[in-house]
A and B are shown apart, each in its own frame.
Chain A
Amino acid sequence: MTGVLGAALPLVPFAMALLGFLLPQASHLWAGFLGIVGAGVALVVAIVLAFTVDGLVETSHTVATFGEFEVTFGVRLDSAAAYVAIAVGVVALAVQVFSTAYLRSDDRYAPYAAQISLFTAAMLIVVVAGDLIMLLIGWEVMGICSYLLIAHDRRLPEAPAAAVKAFLVTRVGDVGFLLGIVILGVRAGSFRLADVLAPGVLDPTTITVVCLLLLCGVAGKSAQFPLHTWLPDAMAGPTPISALIHAATMVAAGIYVVARLFPLFLASSTALNVLAVVAAVTMLLGALAATVQDDIKRVLAWSTVSQIAYMTGALAVGAPAAALFHLLTHAAFKALLFLAAGSVIHAVGTNLMSHMGGLRRSMPVTFWCTTIGLASLVGLPPLSGFFSKEEILHVAVAGSGWRNLLVYGVGLATVFITAGYATRVWLRTFFGQPRSREASHGHEPSRLMAWPVVALAVPSALLGFVALSPAFAEALGAPEGFTIGAEAAAPVAWAALAIGGVWWAWRLRPADDPARVLGPLRPLFGNAFYLDAVQHALVVRPVTALARAVRRADESGVDGVVEATGQGTLSLGGVVARAHRAGLPRAVTAVLGGAAVLGLAAVAIVGVWP
């Protein structure tokens, strides 16, 4: 029964997606209906699974056999998978409902909604997959859907480029991911997760190699350094997409995969070291870049990069449960923040915070929901973000080793910076005087846009308390439960300090950006330490040049051979035609000359001459 439910989890949204693709492009009613039904059914099934699953449930059906390798489709369900599936379902449902209002005037709504359903199905496949190949399928389909959805608004000039960038950067990571999966499956003799995770199947070198390769894919999909450059540009997609894909689900998929395969990672200290370094760098990078952005979505994108790094850090210090907990809370408050930002953008008509201001009075519900979301992001008690972030820092400081030290130190510093940019966003958007005409006419969005936001505010606020129940912690994989120790005071103190500092800077000059105190560092942070330019010079330019060279070689070389054959034949035909088109004198010469030669040949062959 559980196995059937587990299979139904991705299949229902997938069926809705297929039906959605058959609809005419401008259809709104049916498209929205199918999308909401798909996400809603998935959510219900996930909730039922969460209640019925205890322990580990696995099913598998062999689909294909290649020599000695079997490809199976099957589910591997435990409570952690069920909770993550619930999170996916909640966010997908909220996004579908939100989109019906946000994209009311869109004329390609049906494929959009169908693509969201397809994406939901793919993410759920990754969540429940019991076979590595199945996981890979879901992984890749998510990448395609991300590409399609970022490029949805064809009127935006930057959207196609952003979509291609997202696709290509994640593809680079996916190459490593694919190699890792293949090596893992081949060495373990089977692609089923149960067989792969069984102890003693693989030797240490293989494990390290596989883990490092898998980390390539994780870095790509979860936007960690150095493959993080696509996420801020992906904000060119519609805001609900940013909420679903680039905050709550796809970027968290990498973390989820590492958590699923954690026994392998535990056995390889090299992989954990790499994870720790990547986490530390990305945490700081994302947070610093978020401090000076003017586009509210880009702030949230860099914030996502930074928060995912927290999860990576938790994995690096050996606490996958803490990482999953933060994944769940992050899904809630980041989706909330993005949807609320969507409401603000919808009301004001621009993404830029320098054109907002004073929206607290005209959009009170959105204001309070955003406040909850930002406070959860900063980690203020008693909201859910506080509990999950504290758990990560607690685990980091409780252990020993340079990894733990690194993660704790950088994590603490990042709390300070996170509080800073969150306060900046809060003050710039909702306080002070409106800085543009649209901002002074801000209005609350329609009910269909407001309800998902409010609905997401509930878990953002209250999910933390669920953590106090030991069953929840045990379900996520931490039998000792989640604890909040005395060291929780330090991050809160730092956060309060940052909030105060930013508020003071804002108070001095309410109309100006509080980030002005950073002075000459602003361009550096704003361009994310010019890593985009580095990537462009090191990777994009050589590859484009290579592609151009290959294309030229193909056009003039390969095509040239083919065309030359045709041209050559034609010219040869022309030469022969001209030779054939002989006038009388030339023809007579040929005939008589030929006769003479033939006579000579006849004489020579017959042998009259001695």
Chain B
Amino acid sequence: MTTADILMLALGAVAVGAAAAVVTTRQIVRAGLWLVVALGSLAGLYLILSAELVAWVQVLIYVGAVVVLLLFAVMLTRAPIGVSADLDRSRWPGLLIGGGAGLGLAALLIDAYRWSTVDLVTGAGAKEVGTAIFRSWVLPFEVLSVLLLAALVGAIVISRPDVSARTGR
């Protein structure tokens, strides 16, 4: 057990616990906040794995933008502040499939890697990732830009108020 391992264990526990809270809590706003914790600890994990750019981008985009967006949606859809009783549907399909998938994958990976070790070398820093992207992955990069543009336009179009005025009640 190296230092990295201990740190990973701790951060992992936090992440898993926060994720469990996200999917089980009965208060919608708290779910969003637990999501922040989970995503943040994941960023920490990335740091340990020497993927600095990914970690900071995670914090920036996910924690900074996505979660904020989710909380905005929570507010705009008038979610009740406080305990609400009807957040969950029947639980056993989720338990079955989710538990099966998660535990199955875990078993698979444990079986694959056992207690092997790897060396931590310089990971995905800004310079390395930038080089990789603009050398080998330029095309997907450009396509992603177009996709972002499409998503932007689409989001605006879908949420136009006059759409609801035409067909709504």
Contact = CB atoms under 8 A, between A and B. Distances in A.
A and B co-occur in one complex: yes
Interface string B51-91: 00000000000000000000000000000000000000100
Contacts of B111: 608-609
19 contacts: A585-B89, A589-B93, A589-B97, A592-B98, A593-B93, A593-B96, A593-B97, A595-B101, A596-B100, A596-B101, A599-B101, A599-B104, A599-B105, A600-B100, A600-B104, A603-B104, A603-B108, A608-B108, A608-B111
Contacts of A593: 93, 96-97
Contacts of A600: 100, 104
Contacts of B112: 608
Contacts of B104: 596, 599-600, 603
A599 B97 CA distance: 12
A609 B101 CA distance: 16
Nearest to A603: B108
Interface of A: 585, 589, 592-593, 595-596, 599-600, 603, 608-609
A37 B97 CA distance: 96
A610 B103 CA distance: 17
A595 B100 CA distance: 11
A595 B104 CA distance: 12
Classify the interface of chain A: helix, strand, loop or mixed.
Answer: helix
Contacts of B97: 589, 592-593, 596
A589 B96 CA distance: 11
Interface in B103-138: 104-105, 108, 111-112
Nearest to A599: B104
B101 A592 contact: yes
A203 B117 CA distance: 110
Contacts of A592: 97-98, 101
Contacts of A596: 97, 100-101, 104
A608 B110 CA distance: 12
Given A585-B89, A589-B93, A600-B100, 5 more contacts: A592-B97, A592-B98, A596-B101, A608-B112, A609-B111
A600 B112 CA distance: 15
Contacts of A585: 89
Nearest to A600: B104
A600 to B, nearest CB: 7
> Chain B: interface secondary structure?
helix
A608 to B, nearest CB: 7
Contacts of A595: 101
Nearest to A586: B93
A552 to B, nearest CB: 49
Nearest to B102: A596
Contacts of B101: 592, 595-596, 599
Contacts of B89: 585
B109 to A, nearest CB: 11
B164 to A, nearest CB: 20
A595 B98 CA distance: 11
Nearest to A594: B97
A603 B103 CA distance: 14
Minimum-distance CB pairs A-B, first 5:
A596-B101, A593-B97, A589-B93, A596-B97, A592-B97
Contacts of B105: 599
Contacts of A608: 108, 111-112
Contacts of B98: 592
B99 to A, nearest CB: 10
| Residue with the greatest number of chain B CB neighbours at <10 A, chosen from A585, A596, A609 | A596
A592 B89 CA distance: 16
Nearest to B94: A589
A336 B44 CA distance: 126
A586 to B, nearest CB: 10
A608 B113 CA distance: 12
Nearest to A610: B111
A568 B4 CA distance: 65
A603 B106 CA distance: 13
B114 to A, nearest CB: 13
A100 B1 CA distance: 126
A600 B96 CA distance: 13
Contacts of A589: 93, 97
Nearest to B96: A593
B21 to A, nearest CB: 21
Contacts of A609: 111
A596 B98 CA distance: 9
A609 B96 CA distance: 21
A176 B135 CA distance: 102
A596 B95 CA distance: 12
B13 to A, nearest CB: 25
B98 to A, nearest CB: 8
A244 B161 CA distance: 95
Nearest to B105: A599
B100 to A, nearest CB: 5
Nearest to A593: B97
Contacts of A599: 101, 104-105
A607 B112 CA distance: 12
B141 to A, nearest CB: 29
A606 to B, nearest CB: 11
Contacts of A603: 104, 108
A608 B109 CA distance: 11
A592 B105 CA distance: 14
Interface centre among B96, B101, B104, B111 (most CB of A within 10 A): B101
A593 B99 CA distance: 11
A596 B100 CA distance: 7
B57 to A, nearest CB: 27
A599 B98 CA distance: 13
A585 B91 CA distance: 12
Contacts of B108: 603, 608
A595 B105 CA distance: 12
Nearest to B100: A596
Nearest to B98: A592
Nearest to B89: A585
B106 to A, nearest CB: 13
Nearest to B99: A596
A394 to B, nearest CB: 107
A585 B90 CA distance: 11
A596 B105 CA distance: 10
A593 B97 CA distance: 6
A600 B107 CA distance: 11
A600 B89 CA distance: 26
A585 B105 CA distance: 23
Nearest to B107: A609
A392 B162 CA distance: 112
A80 B108 CA distance: 108
A589 B101 CA distance: 12
Most chain A beta-carbon contacts within 10 A, residue among B93, B97, B108, B112: B97
Nearest to A592: B97
B91 to A, nearest CB: 12
A596 B97 CA distance: 7
